[in-house]
Amino acid sequence: MAQDVAAHVTQAELRRAGTDHAAARHRRRRRNELLRHLALAAITFALVAPFYYVFLASLKNATEIFSYPPKLLPFPPYFGNYKKLLFDTGFLRWMFNTLFVAGSVTTLKIFLDSMAGYALAKVDMTGKKVVFMAMLILLMVPIGALVVPLWALMSSFGLIDTYAALILPPLANPLGAILMRQFILGLPKDLENAARLDGLSEFGIYWRIVLPLIKPGLVVLAVIIFTDQFMSFIWPLIATTSDELQVLTVGVAALRSHGGANYGLWSASAVMSLIPVGVFFFVLQRQFLARSLAGALKQ
């Protein structure tokens, strides 16, 4: 009987100790979560604050920008900077040129890179490894080293100051083909074999089987190429001379050097420049949900 009571007490104590322990663990978890959220909030602030500052500056006139203390919510907002940017500068033309060049390069490169990637990953051909190594080495050559020979080449073709000068050179960048090769290497050989038995040609396999399966990879590549082209500065600066062919980066830089210190206008150009990239990314990120390889193979 005494033993039973002792056992009973011990059980009760253990239960209580267990409850205390669980409560302590819960408190510790909540504290850690709070710290994590505080750290995330600080990082978010550090990332968003500069953009918000630029956005505010774009909605202020020259006097308000330097007023102290700064206004966190400019009311009423001043749209003069945007009006000036859109109607008194070549901004819309620059935007069109940029979208046209970035869009063309992205579309063409998606096809060329995926085809090259397929060939490098799946087609048996002599010298494949040498070609791949050459592409890897080329990836390490900085743009500065390529600018002069590239300009000479374009000039000899009479393409300087044309859209072709802006579109053709980026197509030779091997990064996309290397990325696509890695994506396509992951596809099982049996899928190609099944397609071959079903009567598909090599191009048919690429077009009807491989391309739909690497859609997420294509989206990643498209985002990389588009943003890279959108922000490209050195080559467009060198390859074009006329105002009609200037792209956004070159035009905005010219705005700074020729238009005096107009911070409101600069801020408005920065905000407007971000819109197409944001829209492009927003549209394409939904494609990340494309049907993946799940279900193709035994698991």
Partner 1 sequence: MNATPAIELIEVGKDYGAVPVLTGVNLTIADGEFIALLGPSGCGKSTLLKLIAGLEELSEGEIYVGGRLANYLKPSDRDVAMVFQNYALYPHMTVRENIGFPLKMAGLGKDEIRQKVEAAANFLQLGAQLDRFPDELSGGQRQRVALGRAIVRQPLAFLMDEPLSNLDALLRVEMRTELVRLHKRVGRTTVYVTHDQVEAMTMANRIVLMHKGVIQQVGTPNEVYSHPANTFVATFVGSPPMNLFAGRVESVGGCRKFVGAFNVPLEGIGIADGAATLGIRPEQVQIAPPETPQTLAATVELVERVGADSFVVSQIAEGVTITARVDAARSITEGDRVAVRLPPAELRLFDVAGLAVPREGA
Rounded CA-CA distance 227/64 in Å is 33
Residues between 186 and 215 with contacts to partner 1, criterion CB under 8 A: 188, 190-191, 193-200, 209, 212-213
Q: Which is nearer to partner 1, 59 or 211 (CB)?
A: 211
- For the CB of residue 163, give the shortest distance to partner 1 in the complex, in Å: 35
Instruction: From 88-96, 114-122, 163-171, 288-296, give the range in contact with partner 1 by CB under 8 A.
Output: 288-296
Tokens coding 209: 């089987």
Q: Which is nearer to partner 1, 2 or 125 (CB)?
A: 125
- Distance of CA 97 to CAs 101, 236, 247, Å? 6, 11, 5
- Does residue 71 sit in helix, strand or coil? coil
- For the CB of residue 122, give the shortest distance to partner 1 in the complex, in Å: 13
Number of residues that bind partner 1 (CB under 8 A): 23
216 binds partner 1 (CB under 8 A): no
Q: Which of residues 5, 47, 125, 297 is near partner 1 by CB under 8 A?
A: 297
158 binds partner 1 (CB under 8 A): no
Nearest 5 degrees, angle CA 121-CA 106-CA 166?
115
Rounded CA-CA distance 56/268 in Å is 9
135 binds partner 1 (CB under 8 A): no
Residue 256's identity, in one-letter code, is R
With DSSP H G I counted as helix, E B as strand and the rest as coil, what are the percentages for the chain, rounded to 5? 80, 0, 20
User: Which residues contact partner 1 (rule: CB under 8 A)?
Assistant: 188, 190-191, 193-200, 209, 212-213, 291-299
